[in-house]
Amino acid sequence: MSATSRSPAGRLEGVLRRAEDLAGAWGGRARASTTPARERALLRLFGVAGVDRDGVPLASAVVERHVNGSRERLAGGIALPFAVALLEYDVPPQQLALDVASGAIDLAFEAELLAVPERRAAAEAEARRVAGIALERIDANRTARLELLDLLGDAPRPWFGLTLAAPTLEPALDEAAALVGAGADLVRVRVPAIRELVLRLHDRGLEPEHWHPHGGPPDRAGDEQEVVPAGSQRALALLRARVDEAAAEAGRYVRLVTAAPALAAPEQALVAALERIDLVEADAVAEIVAAGVDPDRALADHAFGHLLHRRAGALVLLGAGPLIVAPDLARGIPADPATRAGRAFAMQAIAVALAGGDGLGPGQLAAGALVPWLADEREPAAQALAAVAVRRLAWPDVVLAFDEPDLPGAAGARWPYLVAMSLAVAGQRAIVVRRAADPVAARHAGETTRAAAHLGAEIARTPDEVLAWPAVGANAEALLAAAEATLAGIADEGWHAVLGAPIGGAELDRLGADAVAERADPFDLFAR
């Protein structure tokens, strides 16, 4: 091996090339597949909203009744059967959905009409017409964002963000305005778990995070505002308006951010596009490794989500890479810090390559800069500088995001200082999301974050300069060597290299493995 290939830049080039090869092989298959979440998102694109008479989200009820566990029906998709039924019964999408959910109309029967060329052509035209209403709204939102940015001006970089604590709509509205007043440039809202995830976890005796159950259908008269989750579409529409009002008073554009649990990427993307959400946390690789989602399912969901994000002009935030422990469990020996960091970077590189393959350019991507456990490592300063330098060298035009983790004691106290050092390498193209319990703490977090950014700018260094420091260079070398080994293992063994070998000779029972299929119909609703 030559001296050049052993340098950080040489190793990095090899890591990125391996990640792109894997992403290219998986991405095409993902784009050619469908899932229940994609089909639900299409119905919502048609205007299907609300719940059925049993309180089940209407889009979910329609997909569940039509697919009914059949991969063949899932592969056929729901857009054209629904469109041909719209023409057949001459009713609006909402009424048709209610009729399908109640069992009065069977879309499987309507799908048989698509065998008639004239009926199919009419159904395709109707699907495009109905979806076009929502797509026009998405395009208008993209224009509105640009116009508001021009009118109000953008916040100075790096952007400072805070997360809403209120789980329901009414208190969330006031809290969002207060966070903007405290200096937040981004306001993050956690989206509750979707019905599919809740049911799948319930079958395993588990409860999802960020799940806000209510005592009845969300539109029940008299108490609806108290039970509407802050991350629901209805709440996000109102939060968007309140944040815009507060932003106008503050004299700068403020971005709204959503973060959703697993299996929600298509619907999260559609809601984000319809309600002008500016930044979406959506990472297929994190879903696979950390949330236990089947790889084919997660990749198909996120490929569809990327399609909508690209059209809406939203920024997509990918994590800093998940913690991978399956190889350590198999060996019975814990990995060293460089190996953990390298594995995380390898998976992040795959996530970035997948998003790029789906058409998201650097201007629409943000990537986590520091893994959440780094502040709890021994001698984390050199590790942090190495991690940020490698990422900035890999993706010069991608926004680097520093998301403050919930760490106790000394580890939590270290994190702001690691960010201050790292911003000197990351540059102004960065996001810092802080934890804050109240408006006073939020304002203090904003002041300290901006102070750290100013100090970082004063001592700014290029990645090459920082990697020339012996301790940082050694950490970067070890990180990249571990990343190379991780990607080589995936190339040889597939996902088992990072998820662990199948138990008992059978594939792992991963979330959504039974709910993904290669699309059998070539109709593309988004073809221009």
Instruction: Using alpha carbons, select from 375, 392, 309, 303 the residue that is nearest to residue 337.
Output: 375
Instruction: Give dist(CA 18, CA 316) in Å, integer.
Output: 22
Average pLDDT over all residues of the chain: 92
Instruction: Give dist(CA 236, CA 344) in Å, integer.
Output: 32
Using CB atoms within 10 Å of the CB of residue 47, give its burial: 0 to 12 exposed, 13 to 18 middle, 19+ buried: middle
- The string of pLDDT tens digits covering residues 255-286 is 999 999 999 999 999 999 999 999 999 999 99
Half-sphere exposure of 270 (CA within 13 A, CB side): 25
Q: Which amino acid does the sequence have at 32?
A: A
Provide, rounded to the nearest whole percent, the portion of the chain with pLDDT above 90: 84
What confidence score (pLDDT) does residue 331 get?
86
- The string of pLDDT tens digits covering residues 86-113 is 999 999 999 999 999 999 999 999 999 9
Provide, rounded to the nearest whole percent, the portion of the chain with pLDDT above 70: 94
CA angle 197-370-348, nearest 5°? 55
What confidence score (pLDDT) does residue 211 get?
57
Q: Which fold has domain 154-214+230-502?
A: TIM Barrel (3.20.20)
What confidence score (pLDDT) does residue 210 get?
62
Higher pLDDT, 101 or 508: 101
How far is residue 415 CA from its own chain's centroid? 24
Mean pLDDT, residues 431-455 taken together: 90
* Alpha helical stretches, state H, 207-257: 224-227, 233-250
Largest interatomic CA distance in the chain: 73
Give residue 222's pLDDT band: very low, low, confident or very high (50, 70, 90).
very low
What confidence score (pLDDT) does residue 5 get?
47
Sign of the alpha-carbon dihedral angle for 420, 6, 346, 430: positive
What confidence score (pLDDT) does residue 223 get?
40
What confidence score (pLDDT) does residue 526 get?
85
What confidence score (pLDDT) does residue 197 get?
94
The three state secondary structure string of 396-443 is CCCEEEEECCCCCHHHHHHHHHHHHHHHHHHCCCEEEECCCCCHHHHH
- The string of pLDDT tens digits covering residues 389-424 is 999 999 999 999 999 999 888 888 999 999 999 999
What confidence score (pLDDT) does residue 215 get?
39
Instruction: Give dist(CA 466, CA 421) in Å, integer.
Output: 11
Please tell me the least confidently modeled range out of 138-152, 262-276, 364-378, 430-444. 430-444
- The string of pLDDT tens digits covering residues 311-370 is 999 999 999 999 999 998 888 899 999 999 999 999 999 999 999 999 999 999 999 999
- The string of pLDDT tens digits covering residues 113-123 is 999 999 999 99
Using CB atoms within 10 Å of the CB of residue 495, give its burial: 0 to 12 exposed, 13 to 18 middle, 19+ buried: middle
Give residue 507's pLDDT band: very low, low, confident or very high (50, 70, 90).
low
Instruction: Give dist(CA 101, CA 53) in Å, integer.
Output: 9
Q: Which pairing describes strands 186-190 and 279-281: parallel, antiparallel, or unpaired? A: unpaired
Q: Which residues contact 223 (CB under 8 A, 6 or more apart)?
A: none
Domain boundaries for CATH 3.20.20.440 within the chain: 154-214+230-502
Instruction: Using alpha carbons, select from 374, 396, 397 the residue that is nearest to residue 387.
Output: 374
Does the pLDDT at position 503 exceed 90? Answer: no
Write out the two tokens for 371: 């893994």
Q: Which amino acid does the sequence have at 415?
A: W
What confidence score (pLDDT) does residue 410 get?
86
Q: What is the pTM of this model?
A: 0.93
CA angle 129-269-189, nearest 5°? 135
- The string of pLDDT tens digits covering residues 6-51 is 678 889 999 999 999 999 999 999 999 999 999 999 999 999 999 9
How far is residue 399 CA from its own chain's centroid? 15
